[in-house]
Structure 1
């Protein structure tokens, strides 16, 4: 379904979308580049099974959430000026900013086409509304995240609200769409959405840790990439609000206008850790994971699918890329 949705795109857009998805190289030759973890479509299919449905009923929704995710990545790379993703040049750095924006737009359109082609009319209308609300939340979250780069007074509550829109909303929607298309009840839909949203916060917090301390060989991004951009990630926000000498020194470095040298990136990472930002982020990620797992126990779900959702959640919490 994902291939079919993308292959309906017009020629130049198809080329860029296929490049971003890792299907072919910059000149259009087939290749086997890294294409992401497919966490969101897996959540959709497992959620359909969890409420007693067949995974086949949610295939269109699974393709849709993966396409929405990739639309956001193409645009994020433009906004962040990131030159590498998944160990190769980003779409905008190969095809240019303007064309990459258009490629992201048509990938989003393909997501709604994939979703509209599945399920009963009433069920599909509900699913489209759920996905549309999710895209709005995602864009708002990304906008707020960008605004944080112009501030030095962000608190952890604001950060978590932003992360809910930027990351959690899509994981929650991925789960809810599976339940909707498989005919799940309201309580099942809510429980699965809650699971996905808490898992999304876990995912974002782990992502923030990797953005500072991740191994470039695994993440495909430069060491300390988030620090280079002065991102107000959860470890940094926690560290800046902690008080003490390390927090003060960190604030002074973050406020300087000059770009960080590689040595300063290492120093800033050490200050974030000394101020408690790393430990606070790890602790909160564990708490969000516990809340995600508890949500699955709140309603009756098919045991096999629930077990696989639990395994997927643990994989998200332990990921290194």
Structure 2
């Protein structure tokens, strides 16, 4: 693990570019519209190319180790963000968000996730600076999370959203009246001389609450790859920026990745063990420290495997369905 490469100038340039990209996204979503596939694919390719270019620039400037840590952390965060995206999809369906407003809700979710993860990254850096025991703590968090994710995946528990049981939604409804209809992208309107929330406000708050849960998992996960706060922030930023466009590309495919949670459980468990081994290595030098290139190979291998097994399971179910139709 290396000292931070994040000089004040580098931080400043990165944040300025990030704010510029977010401003561009807000400009694009200013006029609500259904997102055509061609537009979604174009922006997805753009946001996938950005981290590749960034990682290749890091190589000659800061060395191969830093570049490899960035790419590994980005793959981890991108994998977790896809699961985050699936929950967003459930929330949009539960709140019956009009398709034209979906991208604005997603953008609010991305901004909220970035802010929350920046806070968690700063807290994580403080904890790590306090001693190597922080790696043991982060490893334990990831192992517990991995066990829960894997248990739910094996039991076949489908993720569902019941907005009436969400504490944040119930609290907002007690504090202010809520309209039944959406009013464009407006979060509040004046109705009968009184300020009222729109359903848009409820879904945005629900997305923010979801962001908190995912930040608890994702930040320790990338700290398992590097303890450089700048690289941790950069991986999170690049993984989250393209989610708005990626949602519309993967909208139909997300539900077909049936083994994604199995893979995420394995990845979280692997990084959890890696963190525990790193802590043990700082105490007993005889304990091996898992190298970053090996981590990247394992993570990519898991993602490719669960994608292939999901596609195979889908084809098998489709074949069985065709046989039932032919028999009947």
Is the structural similarity TM-score above 0.5? no
TM-score (norm 2): 0.30
Structure label with greater radius of gyration: 2
